[in-house]
Each structure stands twice: as C-alpha cells, then as structure tokens.
Amino acid sequence: MADVAAITAISEKVFGTVKKITFEFTSGEGAHAGTASDTTDKAYDGEILQVVTDPGTPAPTAAWDLTLTDEDSLDLLKSNGANRDAANTEYIVGSTTNMLPASGKLTFNVTNAGDQKAGKVYVWIR
C-alpha cells in the first residue's frame, strides 16, 4: 500500500454577518490512513451556529470522527463531531450543543474515515 496524503480544500462564502466555511476532503492511505487535516488561511471570530457533515463518494467508514480546533488546539465542537454517519448528512447545532466560540484560524481534523474516502464539512459562524 502506498503512502498517500489526504487531499483537502477550504472555501468560504459570506452571507451578511454569517460566514459559511466548506472543508472538502479525501482521506489518505498508508502512513496517512483514514485521516485528513487542513487549516484555514483566515482567522475567524464568533459563534459557531451549525456544523454539517456530509459523506461523499466513496463514503467514509461508519463512525468517522471530526474535530474543529482553534489555535490553542481546543476542540470547538466539544466532542460532538465523533462517530459521524457514513450514509447520512448530520447536523450539530450550536445552540443545543454549547460549542465553543471560534477565535483565530481553524483546523479541520478527520480521523477513522478509512482509506481514500471523501466528505464535506460545512461550518456557519456569526
């Protein structure tokens, strides 16, 4: 099995005072098995309104994990990104999970996704 690093992309759209950040990934294999990570170029400050995980094709392994960390390595999702579904879009709503506010550059970390698996993560911040 070859060592293949993950492929990632981050983009942003602004809707008034709300920013939508999209993290697209294809997990690595070999030494990078089942993982993908990338950090935003921009810093973000504000309340995380919602996070959506959307499995791609081929879908990640069942119970794949997501953390969204700040510059202090704190998981802003407070472990609510663990055990994501491989077949269905799932939502994490800030008002019900008491997520930490964003402050600084954000790092998306995917683990346990399986080799060469794809997905998208959407984050809305105000």
The identity of residue 79, as a single letter, is S
Whether the predicted model's global pTM rises above the 0.85 cut: yes
How do residues 40-67 score in pLDDT, each as one tens digit? 999 999 999 999 999 999 999 999 999 9
pLDDT, average across residues 87-112:
91
In degrees, to the nearest 5, what angle opens at C-alpha 19 toward C-alphas 84 and 97?
40
b (16+ CB within 10 A) / e for 32-53: ebbbbbbebeeebeeebbbbbb
Domain ranges of the chain: 7-125
**CATH top-level class of 7-125:** mainly beta
